[in-house]
Chain A
Amino acid sequence: MVLRTNNLSIELVGREISGRPVPGRPRRPAGPYLLGLPALLLSSLLLIPVGVTVVAAFRLPDGSFGFGNFAVMADPAALHAVGNSLAWVAVAFGLVVLGFLLALVSYRLPAVSSFLQPALVIPFAVSVLVSGATFRLIFDPTPERGTVTAVWTKLFGTSPVWLGPGMFWLVLVSAFGWTWLGYVVSLFRAGLDAIPDDVSRTIQTEGVTGWRRLRVLELPLLRPITGVVTLTLVIAAVRVFDLVLILVPGSLQQDADVLGINWWRSSAGGTSGRTAALGVVLFAIVAAVGVIGVRGLRRRRWAMPVSVVTAERSVRRPRPSRRTRRVGSTVGFAVALFWILPAIVLVATALHSPTAAGLDGWWSARGFGFESFAAAANVGLLRALLSTLLISSIATVVLLVIAVPTAYLVAWGGLPPWLGRVVTSVFVVLAVTPVQMYAAPLRDAIGAAGLAGSRVALALVHAAAGLPFAVLLLRSAFASAPPVLVAEALQGPARQSAVLATVRRTYRPALVAVAVLEFVLVWNDFIVGFLISGPGSTPLSLVLWGEARQFSASAGTVAAAAVVASIVPVVLLLSFWRTVVRGLTVGSRP
């Protein structure tokens, strides 16, 4: 066929088709994969040492491989520690259940939560070391100093020795519970609040009430949140380390031994087969628990609405009667006061001079002043604060820069489904990996690179340790994007930037949650810095720990250091708490 126009002759020529027709495939551009590269590099900071540890656990002294190293588990001390670690995981699950029930109660009793918010957040914001120190103050066996002992003695004449043999478990669990319960309740409560009223009304009109309603409505709808909560708490339970170190008197630490501490005391250095085997056992326990616990993260149930549109007045939950409201706020106030009491004890102790705090309790009228703060400043507290600020900031920035593109890739990067599943599973496992699995090889590697003592190296390790959880969380947030947007995004790069703009607007809560939580976790960290860089580079917690070696006599100084160390995380979390909770509870999908 020939076209003639404007003195040009254009001839169209066809070509014969040869070969068989082949089915087309959707184009998967390789570009997005690059987004995952930084995360891969950062994760290898953990993955490679974990691999080294696993190999070391199975390598026998003569170079062959086998289960010989696991004979360490027959060692009664190690067995005892494993038992204690498992008990801690059980405590974590118990707290999840308890928190859920409390959230239900507060949901059915409106107006409770107005006072509760700060009371629940503060314990979560302070470090484990601080809450351990606080509870040791409260349960001090001397009636002049220990709050509980004083009250008990007043009521019954004599008091048990709370920190004594067997009894210290009560104090340990109380401190752990005080730290975490607020977080659990807040998250479940946010989830319950987000259940659309029309759904619950429909259920109600069909006559589904009580336990059955719980089973068919609330439990399935809250599954993603249950996943997040369980994951966080299991990680916390496995990381129990500093709590025991600071709270349990030296003579009883043997009884309170957990796997982490046993590992540290027996390792005191390189990767021997025995300690590697201990680490692997710990890891196996946790990974099993973690994977079961986060199954909620991997099922698409529903996405929680990001912004709850105020519904018609007529379809909202009925406003409770005035009497209910009054009862609710009274109960709420009482609970809040009780819950905040440890913080009050800590601050009041810090405001006494070291001598007064060592002699009498926080309620005594003698010896008020700032002497304890001065004493704390004399052991290098300010320099410690500065280091800690630096490490936390670097870790948070690095984490955000790497986690956001990775989460985007996992959520919409067009990964083949199987790969998405693999990546998610790897991150779940990494999220619960105990520090003991990568500490020793990593420490050696950092030392060999001449970076020993570098705060930047430590910050990178922190970022790597925080990455799995951050990616899982952000992925949930990104994945709950309106499908229309996703479809548009897959049409080309121009669209993708528009989508990202929307994402920034819509998913800021999740980003804020990741940033704030990472900053606070690193700020409060003891174990990662302690095991990776050795003592000295987690200065803030180390100052606290060093002060607490002779506990009661330095109660004032310890309390002052604890108060100073807690200001930044408490202020941060109180300011951003609502956003953090929203970010943590944004929808979820595989």
Chain B
Amino acid sequence: MIGRRLFLGAVGAAALSGCAPDVLGLRRSVRVAVSWSGAELREFHRVLDGLGDLEFPVEVIPLGDDIPTAFGPRSTRRPDVVMLPRPGLVPQQLENLQPVPAELADRGRTRLWDELLVQEGETYGVPFKTAHKSAIWYRPSVFKQVGVEPPKVWSDWLQVNRQLSLAGIRPLALAAGDGWVLTDFLENVLLGSAPSAYRSLASSAEPRPSQEPAFAAALRLLGTLWAAPGTLAGGVDRSLVQQFPDAIVEVFGHRRAAMVLASDFAEPVVRSFAADPDDIGLFTFPSMTRGTAAPVVVGGDVMVLPRPASEDAQKLVRRLAVPAAADPWIATGGFLADGRTTGYSPELTRLAEQLVAPGRSLQFDLSDRLYQLDDGLQRVLNDFLVRVGDQGTEVVREAVDVALTELAKVES
């Protein structure tokens, strides 16, 4: 009975898969590993659909934060294309990668990208998506109610937080459940307070942030903001299990907090969960002291081709590199394309203009470059947050020392 039923089921499935040969896995599909999920993943599917008729099936593999596992040595189930959110892995994975098609090489040689993607004269990646990691989304109505302005300088920000919490409003929803939110925070402070130290760390072959006084100073500054009692919405425990969409829902949906540090790609989440669609504002990271440049930390996803790259994989990269390819995603929001400043919402247009404006302190995301530390920096910051969050500024000094000790362990 059951055997027959199963057999019929199998035959039926096989017959059905006749119309979709890739289900059987016989037709070699092009496998794209991405770190996106949820809404972003759906948008990427729409981008693929918008490419028109490809002569090969495309399979999207969402690997999330575990995307470095896409480069397993001798792993024959390797993806054919990787949308790498950590371009810092390119120099490390050089022997596993193939240079991109020659006509796309220029795209990888633009500002900021070149030092990561150009190795030994060859270009190993094509930027697909850029991220502005110094954006803070906030609710203007709350700022009006308390009578504060978006901060231009770090000390103003501390002041704004104080005023908000005095008025009974939690200033900041911190998405510590996503490790990159914590590293982004620290990178902004470091880039704003010591751009040269940032640069030397980013370009060093053996980065030792724990030995860098500027790094310790940045940690102290950051600790001061996190430690101020009443700053974090929901306290430390809630922050630790809160991912960036949850934090956005806290601010714009349940309206329990005023601000959230989240990149441009948070835009669709903000708009879909906002209780009041007109009550959405955005400011960028303040400068650390008056007169210095405000930091702009840049991230993004680059297309890289694991070696050996098939013809089909290269074709797909060419198709995705066409500037119009990302149009469906840009129309939805939450997507910045490298060097492009048109077609976005007003908020994202401001961010896009900052990315091409001269005179700003622009640097590529440090933790995405320091592959040597793996995700050690995230873990250290996690523990640091647990030690200082809501504890008052007097604990900061000691917590910084502990963090530096932990970091030294990670470095070795």
**Genuine A/B complex:** yes
Known A268-B69, A355-B273, A512-B2: A386·B13 in contact at CB below 8 Å:
yes
Asked whether, in the complex, the Cβ of B23 is within 8 Å of the Cβ of A383, the reply is yes
A420 at the interface (CB under 8 A from B): no
A405 at the interface (CB under 8 A from B): no
A265 at the interface (CB under 8 A from B): yes
Question: What is the minimal beta-carbon distance from B241 to any residue of chain A, in angstroms?
Answer: 4
**Chain A residues with CB under 8 A of B60:** 380
Known A386-B17, A400-B3: A355·B272 in contact at CB below 8 Å:
yes
B382 at the interface (CB under 8 A from A): yes
**Chain A residues with CB under 8 A of B106:** none
Asked whether, in the complex, the Cβ of B249 is within 8 Å of the Cβ of A358, the reply is yes
Asked whether, in the complex, the Cβ of B64 is within 8 Å of the Cβ of A549, the reply is yes
B68 at the interface (CB under 8 A from A): yes
Selected interface stretch from B72-80, B115-123, B363-371: B72-80
Asked whether, in the complex, the Cβ of A251 is within 8 Å of the Cβ of B179, the reply is yes
B331 at the interface (CB under 8 A from A): no
B10 at the interface (CB under 8 A from A): yes
A362 at the interface (CB under 8 A from B): no
A242 at the interface (CB under 8 A from B): no
**Chain A residues with CB under 8 A of B78:** 534
Q: Give A135 to B20 CA distance when docked, in angstroms.
A: 35
Asked whether, in the complex, the Cβ of B38 is within 8 Å of the Cβ of A553, the reply is yes
Q: Give A536 to B45 CA distance when docked, in angstroms.
A: 15
Within 8 A of A (CB), among B169-190: 176-179
Question: What is the minimal beta-carbon distance from B29 to any residue of chain A, in angstroms?
Answer: 8
Q: Give A452 to B59 CA distance when docked, in angstroms.
A: 14
Q: Give A252 to B379 CA distance when docked, in angstroms.
A: 9
B253 at the interface (CB under 8 A from A): yes
Asked whether, in the complex, the Cβ of B75 is within 8 Å of the Cβ of A270, the reply is yes
A44 at the interface (CB under 8 A from B): no
Asked whether, in the complex, the Cβ of A553 is within 8 Å of the Cβ of B13, the reply is no
Known A535-B61, A550-B38, A554-B39: A380·B76 in contact at CB below 8 Å:
no
**Chain A residues with CB under 8 A of B29:** 453
**Chain A residues with CB under 8 A of B65:** 250, 549
Asked whether, in the complex, the Cβ of A546 is within 8 Å of the Cβ of B75, the reply is no
Asked whether, in the complex, the Cβ of B38 is within 8 Å of the Cβ of A557, the reply is yes
B71 at the interface (CB under 8 A from A): yes
Q: Give A250 to B79 CA distance when docked, in angstroms.
A: 24
B206 at the interface (CB under 8 A from A): no
Q: Which residue on chain A has the smallest CB distance to residue B75?
A: A269
B408 at the interface (CB under 8 A from A): no
Known A249-B241, A267-B72, A378-B42: A454·B273 in contact at CB below 8 Å:
no
**Chain A residues with CB under 8 A of B66:** 265
Question: What is the minimal beta-carbon distance from A189 to any residue of chain B, in angstroms?
Answer: 24
A542 at the interface (CB under 8 A from B): yes
Asked whether, in the complex, the Cβ of A270 is within 8 Å of the Cβ of B37, the reply is no
Q: Which residue on chain B has the smallest CB distance to residue A515?
A: B2
Within 8 A of B (CB), among A433-492: 443-444, 446-448, 452-456, 458
Within 8 A of A (CB), among B54-98: 59-66, 68-69, 71-79
B372 at the interface (CB under 8 A from A): no
A164 at the interface (CB under 8 A from B): yes
Binary contact track B270-307/A, C-beta < 8 Å → 1, others 0 = 00110000000000000000000000000000000000
B151 at the interface (CB under 8 A from A): no
**Chain A residues with CB under 8 A of B71:** 268-269
Asked whether, in the complex, the Cβ of A250 is within 8 Å of the Cβ of B243, the reply is yes
Asked whether, in the complex, the Cβ of B20 is within 8 Å of the Cβ of A383, the reply is yes
**Chain B residues with CB under 8 A of A249:** 177, 240-243
Question: What is the minimal beta-carbon distance from B410 to any residue of chain A, in angstroms?
Answer: 12
Question: What is the minimal beta-carbon distance from A242 to any residue of chain B, in angstroms?
Answer: 13
Known A390-B24, A536-B61: A163·B241 in contact at CB below 8 Å:
yes
Q: Give A164 to B385 CA distance when docked, in angstroms.
A: 14
Asked whether, in the complex, the Cβ of B31 is within 8 Å of the Cβ of A536, the reply is yes
**Chain B residues with CB under 8 A of A270:** 72-75
Question: What is the minimal beta-carbon distance from A270 to any residue of chain B, in angstroms?
Answer: 5
Asked whether, in the complex, the Cβ of A358 is within 8 Å of the Cβ of B245, the reply is yes
B234 at the interface (CB under 8 A from A): yes
B244 at the interface (CB under 8 A from A): yes
Within 8 A of B (CB), among A230-254: 249-252, 254
Q: Give A397 to B13 CA distance when docked, in angstroms.
A: 13
Q: Give A164 to B241 CA distance when docked, in angstroms.
A: 6
Q: Which residue on chain A has the smallest CB distance to residue B28?
A: A453
A226 at the interface (CB under 8 A from B): no
Q: Give A379 to B10 CA distance when docked, in angstroms.
A: 24
Asked whether, in the complex, the Cβ of B382 is within 8 Å of the Cβ of A251, the reply is yes
Asked whether, in the complex, the Cβ of A453 is within 8 Å of the Cβ of B16, the reply is no
Binary contact track A271-308/B, C-beta < 8 Å → 1, others 0 = 00000000000000000000000000000000000000
**Chain A residues with CB under 8 A of B148:** none
Asked whether, in the complex, the Cβ of A447 is within 8 Å of the Cβ of B2, the reply is no
A161 at the interface (CB under 8 A from B): yes
Binary contact track B359-401/A, C-beta < 8 Å → 1, others 0 = 0000000000000000000110010001000000000000000
Q: Which residue on chain B has the smallest CB distance to residue A253?
A: B65
B9 at the interface (CB under 8 A from A): yes
Q: Give A409 to B28 CA distance when docked, in angstroms.
A: 40
Within 8 A of B (CB), among A542-590: 542, 545-554, 557, 576
Question: What is the minimal beta-carbon distance from B249 to any residue of chain A, in angstroms?
Answer: 6
Q: Give A455 to B28 CA distance when docked, in angstroms.
A: 12
**Chain B residues with CB under 8 A of A454:** 24-26
Q: Give A367 to B45 CA distance when docked, in angstroms.
A: 25
**Chain B residues with CB under 8 A of A250:** 65, 177-179, 243
Contact of A393 among B9, B248, B269 (CB under 8 A): B9
A130 at the interface (CB under 8 A from B): no
A359 at the interface (CB under 8 A from B): yes
Binary contact track A477-514/B, C-beta < 8 Å → 1, others 0 = 00000000000000000000000000000001001100
Asked whether, in the complex, the Cβ of A359 is within 8 Å of the Cβ of B254, the reply is yes
Q: Give A455 to B136 CA distance when docked, in angstroms.
A: 45
**Chain A residues with CB under 8 A of B72:** 267-270, 534
**Chain B residues with CB under 8 A of A406:** none
Asked whether, in the complex, the Cβ of A456 is within 8 Å of the Cβ of B25, the reply is yes
Q: Give A358 to B253 CA distance when docked, in angstroms.
A: 9
Known A270-B75, A443-B76, A453-B25: A516·B2 in contact at CB below 8 Å:
yes
B14 at the interface (CB under 8 A from A): yes
**Chain A residues with CB under 8 A of B411:** none
A387 at the interface (CB under 8 A from B): yes
Q: Give A458 to B77 CA distance when docked, in angstroms.
A: 12
Asked whether, in the complex, the Cβ of A511 is within 8 Å of the Cβ of B2, the reply is yes
B6 at the interface (CB under 8 A from A): yes
A178 at the interface (CB under 8 A from B): no
Q: Which residue on chain B has the smallest CB distance to residue A518?
A: B6
**Chain B residues with CB under 8 A of A533:** 77
Asked whether, in the complex, the Cβ of A268 is within 8 Å of the Cβ of B68, the reply is yes
Contact of A165 among B73, B179, B237, B254 (CB under 8 A): B237
- Top 6 closest pairs, chain A to chain B, by CB: A447-B76, A269-B72, A546-B62, A553-B245, A534-B77, A549-B37
Interface residues of A (CB under 8 A from B): 141-142, 144, 160-161, 163-165, 249-252, 254, 264-265, 267-270, 354-355, 358-359, 375, 378-380, 383, 386-387, 389-390, 393-394, 396-397, 400, 443-444, 446-448, 452-456, 458, 508, 511-512, 515-516, 519, 533-537, 542, 545-554, 557, 576
6 CB contacts below 8 A, A to B, read A164-B238, A386-B16, A393-B7, A511-B3, A515-B3, A554-B37
- In addition to A268-B69, A389-B13, A443-B76, 10 A-B residue pairs with Cβ atoms within 8 Å of each other are A249-B241, A251-B241, A359-B253, A397-B6, A447-B77, A536-B31, A536-B61, A553-B38, A553-B243, A557-B38
